[in-house]
Amino acid sequence: MAMVLQATTFLQQYLYSRPDVKTLTKDSDAVRIGIIGGSAMINAASIIHPVESHTGAKIVAIASRNIDDAKSAAKKYKIDKAYGSYEELLADPDVEAVYISTPNGLHGEWAIKSLRAGKHVLLEKPFTANGLEARSVFQSAEQSGKLVCEAFHWQFHPASHVVKSLVASGKFGDIQSTYARMVTPKNTIPGSDIRWQWALGGGALMDETYALHATRYFVGGDKETLLGSGVKPTVVDAHSRPYSKDKRVDSASWADLRFDLDGGKTVNSKIYVDLDQPNLAYVIPKAWELPSIQIECEKATIYYYNFMMPHIYHYIAITDKVTGHVTYQKHYNYGPKWKEIGEPYWSTYRYQLEAFVDAVRGRKPKHWITSDDSIAQMETIDAIYMKTGLGPRPIASEVEGK
């Protein structure tokens, strides 16, 4: 389903971007970005098109391990320089920040190399292969004096901030429980896809990590300024459905979590992720089941539908527990954080880019994914995998050839 949403994002950006967007004059101090992972399908939606509408950013280089792939992408998107290795791009002094979209198991390795090369880093999710590697990345960031941010784009969107503010307001009482899910219909992902490769950090919990991240964001921290940073639940129970061709990889995972918050408050949460969800009546793909989270509060239930790509379509349904009355909200711009910044056609990635550019240029970003947040996310994934018996994902360089 994630691939379908990405494809829809391509269409959305094509239809709603201003016709003159590709001819915008870039600022003289525009952040010069290089792309590591030039053949990744996500690049167009996640960084290339968002940069087109931002005067403060430009893509100056793209690198792939196959020079032909890099040249093809450079030609298609009018990028000046193409490299046949990541090392070449990192050696380019004109590149001051990199977007990394390599397979999961390579994220940490190339983030560390990029930071050591003096580049700021926008790193695709999941942040690293495991929690220990996540800590290593932030150590490198501290040593280099450069920024690194996990590209959890969904959390930069105004709709997500609205839901956070509804929960944090106390209007509906304390959170009691949550249930988040993200699924992909059966046989959507081919067997050769990197999502099924253990050595590259494959698995449902890794690829569909949004369900856990949304849970932690909305449950963790009563104050909006905390962003739920560093909040880690106790993994009460977890189990997985192993991938048929490699039992070390989860094709689906379920987890029961307990958050112990300040003041003795406890929240029980469930997550369900599935890269190969069984069809309805064995034949009908459940294409309507977009990523969603249900938040049970004392006085109302808040349901956020399609939290992963709210710019395409979403709704926030609030059900009063006493009257049963349901109200609906939709937010495509403005919101608690962005105020006058943002356009209805902006994707989650465009909001994310706005924040990243601000941070690189020394301005306070409207929103940010903190180091505590990314570390807690990966350590919680590790804990779930430990509970399922599969164990944490390996760093790709440590299992090459195995």
Active site residue 321: no
d(CA 284, CA 122): 38
d(CA 355, CA 337): 11
How far is CA 3 from its chain centroid? 13
Of all residues in the chain, the percent with pLDDT exceeding 70 is: 90
Burial of 317 per CB tally in 10 Å (0-12, 13-18, 19+): middle
Per-residue pLDDT at 399: 76
Strand duo 175-185 + 97-100: pairing: unpaired
Q: Name the active-site residue from 71, 125, 146, 337.
A: 125
Q: State the average pLDDT over residues 238-251.
A: 97
402 has a pLDDT exceeding 60: no
15 has a pLDDT exceeding 70: no
Per-residue pLDDT at 19: 47
155 has a pLDDT exceeding 50: yes
Q: State the average pLDDT over residues 144-164.
A: 97
80 has a pLDDT exceeding 90: yes
Per-residue pLDDT at 22: 60
- The model's confidence at residue 283, banded by pLDDT at 50, 70 and 90, is low
Q: Token pair for residue 134?
A: 């996540």
Per-residue pLDDT at 38: 86
Complete DSSP assignment for 91-154: T-TT--EEEE-S-GGGHHHHHHHHHHTT-EEEEPSS-SSSHHHHHHHHHHHHHHT--EEE--GG
Average pLDDT, rounded, for the chain: 91
Phi, psi of 165 (to 5 degrees): -70, -35
Residues 188, 190, 194, 195, CA torsion sign: positive
Per-residue pLDDT at 328: 98
In tens, the pLDDT along 213-239 reads 999 999 974 444 333 456 789 999 999
135 has a pLDDT exceeding 70: yes
Domains and CATH numbers, the chain: 2-153 (3.40.50.720), 157-330+367-388 (3.30.360.10)
Q: Token pair for residue 118?
A: 């003096």
In tens, the pLDDT along 178-190 reads 999 999 999 899 9
- The secondary structure element, H or E, covering residue 294 is strand 292-297
In tens, the pLDDT along 188-208 reads 999 999 999 999 999 999 999
- The model's confidence at residue 398, banded by pLDDT at 50, 70 and 90, is confident
- The model's confidence at residue 310, banded by pLDDT at 50, 70 and 90, is very high
Per-residue pLDDT at 232: 87
Q: Three-state DSSP class for 374?
A: helix
- The model's confidence at residue 320, banded by pLDDT at 50, 70 and 90, is very high
- The model's confidence at residue 286, banded by pLDDT at 50, 70 and 90, is confident
Instruction: Let me know how long the chain is.
Output: 402
62 has a pLDDT exceeding 70: yes
- For the entire predicted model, the pTM comes to 0.93
